[in-house]
Amino acid sequence: MLDINLIRTNPELVKENIKKKFQDDKLVLVDEVIELDRQNREAIQRADFLRSQRNKISKQIGALMGQGKKDEAEAAKQQVKDMQDELADIEKKEELYAEEIRKRMLVIPQIIDDSVPIGRDDSQNVENERFGEPVVPEWEIPYHVDIMERLNGIDLDAARRTSGNGFYYLKGDIARLHSAILSYARDFMIDHGFTYYVPPFMIHGNVVTGVMSFAEMENMMYKIEGEDLYLIGTSEHSMIGKFIDQMLTEDELPQTLTSYSPCFRKEVGAHGIEERGVYRIHQFEKQEMVVVCKPEDSMKWYNKMWQLTVEFFRSMDIPVRTLECCSGDLADLKVKSCDVEAWSPRQQKYFEVGSCSNLGDAQARRLKIRVKGADGKKYLPHTLNNTVVAPPRMLIAFLENNLQADGSIRIPEALRMYMGGKSEIR
> Domain extents for the chain?
4-105, 122-425
What is the pLDDT at residue 274?
Answer: 59
Q: Are 194 and 312 in contact (CB under 8 A)?
A: no
The torsion angles phi and psi of 304, rounded to 5 degrees, stand at: -65, -35
Q: Are 319 and 134 in contact (CB under 8 A)?
A: yes
Give the closest residue to 57 by CA, choosing from 44, 70, 72, 67: 72
**Pairwise CA distance, residues 199 & 197, whole Å:** 6
Give the closest residue to 202 by CA, choosing from 179, 232, 223, 244: 232
Mean per-residue pLDDT for 60-88? 83
Mean per-residue pLDDT for 181-199? 98
CATH of 122-425, one of 3.20.20.370, 3.40.190.10, 3.60.10.10, 3.30.930.10: 3.30.930.10
**Pairwise CA distance, residues 387 & 259, whole Å:** 10
Task: Evaluate if residue 174 carries a pLDDT over 50.
Answer: yes
What is the pLDDT at residue 235?
Answer: 94
What is the pLDDT at residue 393?
Answer: 86
Task: Evaluate if residue 268 carries a pLDDT over 80.
Answer: no
What is the pLDDT at residue 270?
Answer: 40
47 vs 44, 89, 100, 205, 275, CA distance in Å? 5, 10, 19, 32, 61
Higher pLDDT pick, 207 / 64: 207
CATH class of 4-105: mainly alpha
Helix (H) or strand (E) holding 42: helix 27-66
Q: Are 327 and 24 in contact (CB under 8 A)?
A: no
| 14-28, 271-285, 380-394: segment of lowest average pLDDT | 271-285
Mean pLDDT of the chain: 93
Sign of the C-alpha dihedral computed for residues 372, 374, 375 and 381 taken in this order: negative
Q: How confident is the model at residue 212 (pLDDT cuts 50, 70, 90)?
A: confident
Mean per-residue pLDDT for 190-214? 94
Task: Evaluate if residue 42 carries a pLDDT over 70.
Answer: yes
What is the pLDDT at residue 56?
Answer: 87
Q: How confident is the model at residue 406 (pLDDT cuts 50, 70, 90)?
A: very high
Mean per-residue pLDDT for 382-397? 94
Beta bridge partners of 371: 248, 379
**Pairwise CA distance, residues 165 & 156, whole Å:** 8
pLDDT tens-place string over residues 278-303: 888 899 999 999 999 999 999 999 99
Helix (H, G, I), strand (E, B) or coil at 291: strand
Give the closest residue to 382 by CA, choosing from 365, 405, 395, 401: 365
What is the pLDDT at residue 301?
Answer: 98
Mean per-residue pLDDT for 316-328? 96
**Pairwise CA distance, residues 6 & 401, whole Å:** 49
169 vs 156, 227, 278, CA distance in Å? 6, 29, 10
% of the chain exceeding 70 in pLDDT: 98
**Pairwise CA distance, residues 68 & 47, whole Å:** 31
Mean per-residue pLDDT for 333-361? 96
**Residues 6 or more apart in contact with residue 160 via CB below 8 angstroms:** 167, 275
